[in-house]
Structure 1
Amino acid sequence: MKTIDFNPFLFEEEPILDNSVKIGKSDVTTGPLGLGTNKVGGHNLFDGLKDEDGAAVVKAALNNGISLLDTAFMYGLGKSEEIIGDVIQDYDRSKIVIASKAAQDPNNGLKPNNDPKFLKKSVDEALERLNTDYIDIFYIHFPDEQTPKAEAVNALAEEKKAGKIRAIGVSNFSLDQIKEANIDGQVDVVENHYSLVHRQAEDQIFAYLKENQISFVPYLPLAMGLLTGKYSRNDAGKFSKFSSDEFGKIIDNLSKVKIIADKHQATVAQTILAWYIANPNISVVIPGARLPEQVESNAKSLDIQLSSAEFDEIDKLF
């Protein structure tokens, strides 16, 4: 359990007004709540997805004050990007922040490939699928074993200079890999696994990110649904990574979160998302959704103002 430093994670030379978030040292700004789109066209990842539902999910996000859409080639092997590309034609592109990712090489069994030529080709292909002239944030989705990370980032820096992307990200990188990637100070954002029940990033990378003005975006913030409050002790078998005692404690603590949620006339999931939004170490939280009503529910977390005491209480529960 960690105590969060409430010093705002803002950069002194360019203060950000209202609740907008600046991505690293780039000129990309967005709101603190985004949409993870692995269930938008991600047929290779989830069963029973419908493309029309995916399109409706993206529209629901854009219609409810969510401007950042986080996608990847791996979400349906390009299908997620295509659905997003179709939807955004009916919206003002300048008000949308698109983040995409690549690394999995379709010509090599989807193994990670960080080769500069592959990454540049991936950017071009993503631009075509997204039907847009630029991508706001482009991540190296996974590190490979052979490419020097600085070389990979330099390739994206060339794409940034060419106006094809606006910010450079890395995802699923360890601290050492982040340091290598950022040797020239060109990494703007890191997207790694993090949630209230998976907090290793706090000790492993947060200090370095803050010191180097690198934003942080957590994926799986609701821990595959565990932190939504919809599960009971009887569901321990669905979350085998936790011992029965650990799982029971999480369920008990979520009941305490519900007390806070009730005070705000909110759900547990909305309150957990509000905690991430209030956390100065987190730039944008990107919960996923299968249906538009889930997006609409998540968007209500933007209206929840946790007190410092409530923030600290949730922080100490996990």
Structure 2
Amino acid sequence: MEYRKLPHGGEQISVIGLGNSSLSAEVGEKEIQATVEMALENGVNYFDMAAGDSAPFMAYGRALSGCRDKAYLQVHFGADYHTGKYGWTQDLEEIKRSIDWQLKSLRTDYIDFGFIHCVDELADLETAVTGGALEYIQALKAQGVVRHIGLSSHTPAVVEKALDLGLVDMVMFSINPAYDYRHGEYAYGQVDERQALYRRCEAEGVGISVMKAFSGGQLLKKETSPFHQALTEYQCIQYALDKPGVLTVLPGVRDRKDLKRILGFLQATAEERDYSILGSFAPQDASGVCVYCNHCQPCPMGLDVGLINKYYDLSRAGDTLARDHYNNLEKTAGDCVSCGHCDSRCPFRVAQSQRMEEIKAYFGK
């Protein structure tokens, strides 16, 4: 397993986490428990608890018995399961009852990440603030019951407003090529708006946990893909992990068979993870924008072109550490000899040689 550090706190979070939308009563609590145990055995330590029904909670409680410290639980304030099925509420008293039930079912007395649930409209965020949900999470954090505050959303503008509050350590956001290129039900925001959000999160030390990495499975089939070509799970996972701010991707699995296949990503070759085919799908306003895929590698001069671009973009976005990271690189933009190798290989039509000159002028080396 690979891990990435949460800037606000330092927790080491597995790049592959586990979503619970498909771990439901249909597969049975025994299979849910076995799947969670298998995940833990393979180094998965980040679990999103927004489930399709109430079945996973008891199973998780049993699976985590005696090893609660090996898991980070992302619990949603607003997800309600009193009927046995998933429901959404903004009523403070219902939220409190749901959180109490979730804690008891999970057999724990603390929540690693307390998330305001499903904040897709500015009105939802306003309700969370004025209706007491955010204040409730803050009170639990002051008591040590909640370790970190976050929220889940599909809407860049809403997340930007939440970041303005200065209280968020983690954001659950939908990232996949379809949404980023304006295809699908939750494809909110323009290309540059979504990319700017990812950069802001990294610049401000806010982690991103990724939902809907496969666009609800649509990207995995030619018949349903908006690009009329299927992508693989591994391509979609790598695409999300290459975005600034992303710490973990949370695929939904139905059972141990699904989980085993997802975990195969960790042994996948660079070719199996390569998503450069997206360059032929990119809309006009995404053309010429580096997405850090490093398909241009290997550079004859040894430059990590993707990382150089990333530090440049992050520095301009306000990340004060990006300049230091850039200065510590073994090879910088100043080492570029404009051979054109990267220009000819870039699937997103970035004029990298020209960009290296721009980056050299910006950093001074």
Structure 1 and Structure 2 fold alike (TM over 0.5): yes
Cross-structure match for 1:265: none
Offset at residue 216 of structure 1 (A): 1.3
**Secondary structure in structure 2 of the residue aligned to 1:30:** strand
Match of 1:298 in 2: 262
- Matched letter for residue 155 of structure 1: Y
What does residue 94 of structure 1 align with? 69
Contact (CA 8 Å) 1:119, 1:155: kept in 2 or not?
no
The aligned counterpart of 2:166 is 185
8 Å contact kept, 2:80–2:95: no
CA distance in 1, matches of 2:98, 2:7: 22
Partner deviation per Cα, 1:210-230 (whole Å, 9 max, x = no partner): 3332111221112233344xx
Matching of residue 81 in structure 1 with residue 57 in structure 2: yes
The question of 1:38 aligning with 2:2 is answered: no
Deviations along 1:65-111, whole A, 9 cap, x unmatched? 21111112x531x322222112111x522121111213145689944
Structure 2 equivalent of residue 11 of structure 1: none
Specify the code of the residue in structure 1 equivalent to 2:264: K
The structure-2 alpha-carbon separation of the partners of 1:166 and 1:125, relative to structure 1 and needing over 3 Å to count, comes to same
Q: What amino acid maps onto 2:72 in structure 1? A: V
| Letter aligned with residue 147 of structure 1 | T
Q: Which residue of 2 aligns with 1:214?
A: 206
| CA distance in structure 2 between the partners assigned to 1:36 and 1:107 by the alignment | 20
Distance verdict in 2 for CA 1:305–1:137, change over 3 Å: farther
Q: Which gives a bigger RCO, structure 1 or 2 (Cα 8 Å, sep 6+)?
A: 1
Tell me if the contact between 2:238 and 2:274 (Cα under 8 Å) persists in the aligned partners.
Answer: no
Confirm or deny: 8 A CA contact 2:208 2:245 kept in the other structure: yes
Residue 190 of structure 1 contacts residue 216 of structure 1 at CA under 8 Å; is this kept in 2? yes
Q: How does 1:10-49 map to 2 (within 5 A)?
A: 19-41=2-24, 43=25, 48-49=26-27
Report SS of the residue matched to 2:167. Answer: coil
Q: Report the alpha carbon displacement of residue 173 of structure 1 after superposing the two structures with TM.
A: 5.7
What's the CA shift string for 1:149-187, capped at 9, x where partnerless? 375333212212211121111112634433443444111
Equivalent residues of 1:34, 1:69 under 8 A apart = yes
| Aligned match for 1:270, one of 225, 230, 234 | 234
Give the superposed CA RMSD.
Answer: 3.2
What is the SS of the residue equivalent to 1:59? helix
Give the number of equivalent residue pairs.
263
- Give how far 1:206 is off: 2.0
Q: After superposition, give the CA deviation of every residue in 1:101-131 in whole Å (9 maximum; x if it has no partner).
A: 131456899443064x554444332211111
Map Cα deviations across residues 10-60 of structure 1 (whole Å, 9 max, x no partner): xxxxxxxx942233523433111101112222x4xxxx4322222222122
8 Å CA contact 1:35–1:286 kept in 2: the answer is: yes
Paired position in structure 1 for 2:114: 138
Distance 1:312 1:292, change over 3 A: closer
Q: Specify whether residues 86 and 212 from structure 1 end up closer, same or farther in structure 2 by C-alpha distance, changes over 3 A only.
A: same
Match of 1:126 in 2: 102
- 1:317–1:140: structure 2 CA closer, same or farther, 3 Å change rule? farther
Aligned residue runs from structure 1 range 101-180, under 5 A = 101-104=76-79, 110-113=87-90, 115=92, 118-143=94-119, 145=124, 147-149=127-129, 152-172=133-153, 174-180=155-161
With normalisation by structure 2, the TM-score equals: 0.62
Runs (5+) with no aligned partner, structure 1 = 1-17, 255-267
SS in 2 for 1:34: coil
> Is it true that 1:51 corresponds to 2:29 in the alignment?
yes
Q: Judging changes above 3 Å, is the alpha-carbon distance between structure 1 residues 37 and 104 closer, same or farther for their aligned structure 2 residues? A: closer
Map Cα deviations across residues 248-302 of structure 1 (whole Å, 9 max, x no partner): 2x33xx4xxxxxxxxxxxxx32343234334444211011111202111211212
Give the letter for the 1:154 counterpart. Answer: E
Distance change >3 Å, CA 280–CA 26, structure 1 → 2: same
Q: Percent identity?
A: 20
Tell me the equivalent position of 1:313: 276
Q: Match of 2:76, as an amino acid?
A: K
Distance 1:278 1:207 in 2: 11
TM-score, structure 1 as length reference: 0.70
Task: Tell me, in whole angstroms, the C-alpha distance in 2 between the residues paired with 1:101 and 1:299.
Answer: 25
Partner of 1:65: 43
Secondary structure at 1:208's aligned position in 2? helix
